[in-house]
A and B are shown apart, each in its own frame.
Chain A
Amino acid sequence: MTETRVHFYQVGSFAVGNRLLSDADRTVQASRERTNSLDAGHRACQGCGEALGARYALDAAMRATGGRLVAVNATGCLEVFSTPFPETSWRIAWLHSLFGNAPAVATGVAAAMRAKGRDDVRVVGQAGDGGTVDIGFGALSGMFERHDDVLFICYDNEGYMNTGVQRSAATPPTARTATSEAVGADPGNVFGQGKDLPRIAMAHDIPYVATATVADLHDLERKVERAMTFRGARYLHVLVPCPLGWGAASADTVRLARLAAESGFFPVFEAEHGVVTGVRRIRRRVGVEEYLRPQRRFAHLFAGEGRPDLVARLQLIADANVERYGLAPEEE
């Protein structure tokens, strides 16, 4: 008589945990023993995707490193809402210096650890998209190029939210921000290439580059864990919806991240040594409109007669991503 193990679980591959899963198959977040690197009492807005993404990523990094972790934080929402004197929400060794220098500060920490023979201590640098793709870009590229032993994580909420929702180089075309108002013939942010930092990171030939969202925790944690198996510069780009900046319901944070990936508008993939090695294929493909509509920053695309021409251009971006990374759902 042959015995076959039943591999299928009712929510096994998608939910945070499940009583039926073995411990190894559960996420770090499913465990009561998780670090809670970012603890309760922080002052992030309701439904903050960045607070979620930071805890996800750092708790996973804490598990991967056995708690031997130091985090360096750029200025931004995450820093401001986590450490207003006299309270901090961090439960890990954490340093904030400036807005544009987190990659370099992280390099310094890593260098100090190496000089002191503390190879067991690993370093994570983290910033929002402004601190990563804009003001911190030079420092980040330098860190990549030198191959410093740092995992840098960008929590991308597609704008300068801490300062009141201004445009960054990661803001998608047509999105309304306080510096790209939804007025005139070309409302919202301009159409352009944006600054596709994951691909720029890949161009540095660093050992590991990945994107993820707060909607797929298993994928995100696996990528952090994978990143920690490499030494040298690594980059993780996590999409973290911002209810305030995106004009979305606080309950929709995870849903929007999911729609971003499922529409192809935000490609989820990983690359090693400059070569794409894996993509998270779309499971239930949706048009970009389904992703855009719940967000007030895109409301001008749908008000009145709407701007189907602009929506179509945004759809082309998603289609190009699907094509470039091979994101199309598997054939039935």
Chain B
Amino acid sequence: MDRPFAITLPVGSSRANHTGSWRVERPVYVDHLPPCNDACPAGENIQRWLYHAESGDYEAAWRILVEENPLPAIMGRVCFHPCESACNRVRVDEAVGINAVERFLGDTALARGWRLPDPGPDSGRRVLVVGAGPAGLSATYHLRRAGHAVTLVEGAARLGGMMRYGIPAYRLPRAVLDAEVERILEMGVEVVLGRSVKDIAAARDEFRADAVFLAVGAQLGRRVSIPAGDSAKMIDAVTFLHQVAEDDPPLLGRHVVVYGGGDTALDAARTARRLGATDATIVYRRNRAKMPAHAEEVEQALGEGVTVRWLSTIERFEGERLLIEKMALNAEGFPEPTGELEELDADALVLALGQDTDLSLLEGSEVHVADGVVPVAESMMTDVPGVFAGGDVAPSDRTATVAVGHGKRAAKGIDAFLGDRSFERPERHPLAAFERLNTWYYADAPRTQRPELERIRRQTNFEEVVGGLTEDNALFEARRCLSCGNCFECDNCFGVCPDNAVIKLGGGDRYEIDYDYCKGCGICVAECPCGAIEMVPERI
């Protein structure tokens, strides 16, 4: 068109002017490690599976979840969710209910019959897994995925380890446990039940195993010496819970005292209540703040009528009377005896003072044992090549989730060992700290509470106490995720760029900076809700 010279210009011609040359810093997209992922002992990619759950694609979410952990319905119940303690959303309102969503996904998978991934192509190698608790089952799953044959040897009559014999059914219904265990077995696992391995080297030979994973757990209740009369009925909590799990509960009477302050103590007290004890009293030497048991477990126990004698130790147990001594915190915050005594009615005393590992199967082997546990390398391998150990056997926190993580890492270690490769942990991204976030953009949304069984019903039966989320609630909860450190395609960068220098790729492919025009103002970085962009100096 014949337009007046200079006064009238054709549209969009400024794209010839590459303003990117003004830039001294450039924005780059990054992926940082969300604190939930960082905190998960099982190494779950929580942020990633929440991302799929947010869109209602639960199967995709579940599939990403079981990449790392084959027991989501169980973990959604028994995991003490360090992910939620680490969650950045705590500083906005409340942590995302990750555990509840995990349980929702796990339950949905069971209800809809989703199957775990097929085993990998047969490697021709066999691994002996000793112990079918969370560590052993996790290792079995990951080994099968890598194509290795697995022989799973378990001393008890049924699979599950502490998940079956330590955790009461009101926290973990057996149908859920059975279903998730069964799903692993469907991958093709040789199972030997009721067989205690006595000699690790012999067992390795017997099962012609190329490697061994030792995950026998910590099944021995720790004892302390308490002066007690002959008639005093004392039992350790592990044995007590095991007997209950086998439908053979011991008779403890109406007044039950539990000694200890861990989760097991609470499990024992709550179980005693359900078996008919009119009062279940926990005696613990320190105060509530110092109690190692998880706060919500304590809450639930108190709600069920369990009482706690804080700052108390047991002096003597004679017949139906228990003598306890009051403690006081000294200047350093440690409890010290006061000499003040008190009496308690007690038909039975349950000792929940910790557990030890039965490592007699290592006697005569070259596997090193120190302080009652087996030191392992990063690959979970002991100092005997081909022998790996994990779960409560290895030094670390003793939780089911840690055990699951150990099982996975051991499986990878074993896979590397069998393939004659060195074991390398995947590189971790820098942490997506709260300071990187721009929380303005997240809608205010307090977390959804999971329904709880009414108290009166909890006192008399072993029905599950904590319910699951409805789908709506699970979706809501998933969508509370801040997606720390990882782009979730909110379009902010695309929108807030004054120079139209962000290219939206769409369809899950996120964005690209158009460095021809980006002037490096940094608004995209400042306004990225999840901290997935950062400025780096421009190279000149």
Q: Which A residues contact B (CB, under 8 angstroms)?
A: 4, 6, 8-20, 26-27, 29-30, 32, 36, 38-44, 46-49, 51-52, 55, 82-83, 85-92, 217, 243, 249-255, 258, 284
A39 to B443: give the CA distance in the assembly, Å: 31
A80 to B254: give the CA distance in the assembly, Å: 88
- Chain B residue at minimal CB-CB distance from A258: B440
- Chain A residue at minimal CB-CB distance from B497: A52
Instruction: From the candidates A48, A83, A251, A258, name the one contacting B525 in the complex (CB within 8 A).
Output: A251
A255 to B529: give the CA distance in the assembly, Å: 12
What's the minimum C-beta distance from A76 to chain B, rounded to whole angstroms?
Answer: 16
- Chain A residue at minimal CB-CB distance from B478: A10
Task: Flag if B495 contacts A82 (CB, 8 Å).
Answer: no
- Chain B residue at minimal CB-CB distance from A284: B440
Residue of B9, B17, B494, B495 most packed against chain A (CB within 10 A):
B495
What's the minimum C-beta distance from B95 to chain A, rounded to whole angstroms?
Answer: 14
Residue of B12, B441, B523 most packed against chain A (CB within 10 A):
B523
**B207: Cβ under 8 A from any A Cβ:** no
Task: Flag if A89 contacts B14 (CB, 8 Å).
Answer: yes
Task: Flag if B519 contacts A46 (CB, 8 Å).
Answer: yes
Point out the residues of chain B lying under 8 angstroms from A17, CB to CB.
489-492, 494-495
Name the prevailing secondary structure of the B interface residues: loop
- Chain B residue at minimal CB-CB distance from A15: B490
User: Could you list some 29 contacts between A and B, CB below 8 A?
Assistant: A6-B476, A6-B479, A8-B476, A10-B442, A10-B480, A11-B490, A14-B442, A16-B491, A16-B494, A17-B489, A27-B495, A30-B491, A32-B506, A39-B11, A41-B15, A41-B17, A44-B499, A47-B522, A47-B523, A51-B498, A83-B9, A87-B9, A89-B12, A250-B521, A251-B521, A251-B525, A254-B527, A255-B526, A255-B527
Within 8 A of A (CB), among B429-483: 440-443, 445, 472, 475-476, 479-483
Point out the residues of chain A lying under 8 angstroms from B491, CB to CB.
15-18, 26-27, 29-30
Instruction: From the candidates B14, B54, B508, name the one contacting A40 in the complex (CB within 8 A).
Output: B14
8 interchain residue pairs of minimum CB distance: A17-B491, A16-B495, A251-B522, A41-B14, A47-B521, A29-B495, A46-B521, A250-B521
- Chain B residue at minimal CB-CB distance from A52: B498
Task: Flag if A87 contacts B13 (CB, 8 Å).
Answer: yes
**B55: Cβ under 8 A from any A Cβ:** yes
The verdict on A87 contacting B14 (CB below 8 Å), with A41-B517, A253-B521 known, is: yes
**B504: Cβ under 8 A from any A Cβ:** yes
Task: Flag if A43 contacts B520 (CB, 8 Å).
Answer: no
- Chain B residue at minimal CB-CB distance from A18: B490
Point out the residues of chain A lying under 8 angstroms from B9, CB to CB.
83, 85-88
A30 to B442: give the CA distance in the assembly, Å: 17
The verdict on A6 contacting B472 (CB below 8 Å), with A40-B19, A46-B22, A251-B526 known, is: yes
Residue of A15, A19, A26, A42 most packed against chain B (CB within 10 A):
A15
Instruction: From the candidates B11, B443, B498, name the one contacting A9 in the complex (CB within 8 A).
Output: B443
- Chain A residue at minimal CB-CB distance from B19: A41
Name the prevailing secondary structure of the A interface residues: loop
A252 to B522: give the CA distance in the assembly, Å: 8
**B6: Cβ under 8 A from any A Cβ:** yes
- Chain B residue at minimal CB-CB distance from A255: B526
Instruction: From the candidates A40, A52, A92, name the one contacting B11 in the complex (CB within 8 A).
Output: A92
What's the minimum C-beta distance from B57 to chain A, rounded to whole angstroms?
Answer: 11
What's the minimum C-beta distance from B211 to chain A, rounded to whole angstroms?
Answer: 44
Task: Flag if B441 contacts A15 (CB, 8 Å).
Answer: yes
- Chain A residue at minimal CB-CB distance from B489: A19
A186 to B477: give the CA distance in the assembly, Å: 53
A249 to B522: give the CA distance in the assembly, Å: 9
What's the minimum C-beta distance from B536 to chain A, rounded to whole angstroms?
Answer: 14
Instruction: From the candidates A12, A88, A251, name the one contacting B10 in the complex (CB within 8 A).
Output: A88
Instruction: From the candidates B499, B514, B523, B527, name the one contacting A42 in the complex (CB within 8 A).
Output: B499
Instruction: From the candidates A8, A18, A42, name the one contacting B445 in the complex (CB within 8 A).
Output: A8
Task: Flag if A20 contacts B55 (CB, 8 Å).
Answer: yes
Instruction: From the candidates B6, B441, B481, B523, name the one contacting A251 in the complex (CB within 8 A).
Output: B523
**B500: Cβ under 8 A from any A Cβ:** yes
Task: Flag if B522 contacts A250 (CB, 8 Å).
Answer: yes
Point out the residues of chain B lying under 8 angstroms from A38, CB to CB.
500
A44 to B527: give the CA distance in the assembly, Å: 19
A29 to B6: give the CA distance in the assembly, Å: 31
What's the minimum C-beta distance from B325 to chain A, rounded to whole angstroms?
Answer: 47
A51 to B479: give the CA distance in the assembly, Å: 33
**B289: Cβ under 8 A from any A Cβ:** no
A15 to B527: give the CA distance in the assembly, Å: 9
**B496: Cβ under 8 A from any A Cβ:** yes
Task: Flag if B11 contacts A217 (CB, 8 Å).
Answer: no
- Chain A residue at minimal CB-CB distance from B14: A41
Point out the residues of chain A lying under 8 angstroms from B54, CB to CB.
10, 20
Task: Flag if B11 contacts A91 (CB, 8 Å).
Answer: yes
**B501: Cβ under 8 A from any A Cβ:** yes
A167 to B14: give the CA distance in the assembly, Å: 30
**B170: Cβ under 8 A from any A Cβ:** no
Within 8 A of A (CB), among B55-78: 55
**B18: Cβ under 8 A from any A Cβ:** yes
- Chain B residue at minimal CB-CB distance from A251: B522
What's the minimum C-beta distance from B425 to chain A, rounded to whole angstroms?
Answer: 31
**B310: Cβ under 8 A from any A Cβ:** no
**B80: Cβ under 8 A from any A Cβ:** no
Point out the residues of chain B lying under 8 angstroms from A40, CB to CB.
14-15, 19, 499-501, 514, 516-517
Point out the residues of chain B lying under 8 angstroms from A255, CB to CB.
526-527
What's the minimum C-beta distance from A34 to chain B, rounded to whole angstroms?
Answer: 9
Point out the residues of chain B lying under 8 angstroms from A88, CB to CB.
9-14
Task: Flag if B522 contacts A86 (CB, 8 Å).
Answer: no
Task: Flag if A32 contacts B519 (CB, 8 Å).
Answer: no
- Chain B residue at minimal CB-CB distance from A54: B498
**B488: Cβ under 8 A from any A Cβ:** yes
The verdict on A52 contacting B16 (CB below 8 Å), with A14-B442, A17-B491, A83-B9 known, is: no
Task: Flag if B18 contacts A41 (CB, 8 Å).
Answer: yes
Task: Flag if A52 contacts B496 (CB, 8 Å).
Answer: yes
Task: Flag if B526 contacts A11 (CB, 8 Å).
Answer: no
The verdict on A42 contacting B490 (CB below 8 Å), with A86-B6, A87-B9 known, is: no
Point out the residues of chain B lying under 8 angstroms from A19, CB to CB.
55, 488-489, 508
Task: Flag if A250 contacts B17 (CB, 8 Å).
Answer: no
A46 to B15: give the CA distance in the assembly, Å: 17
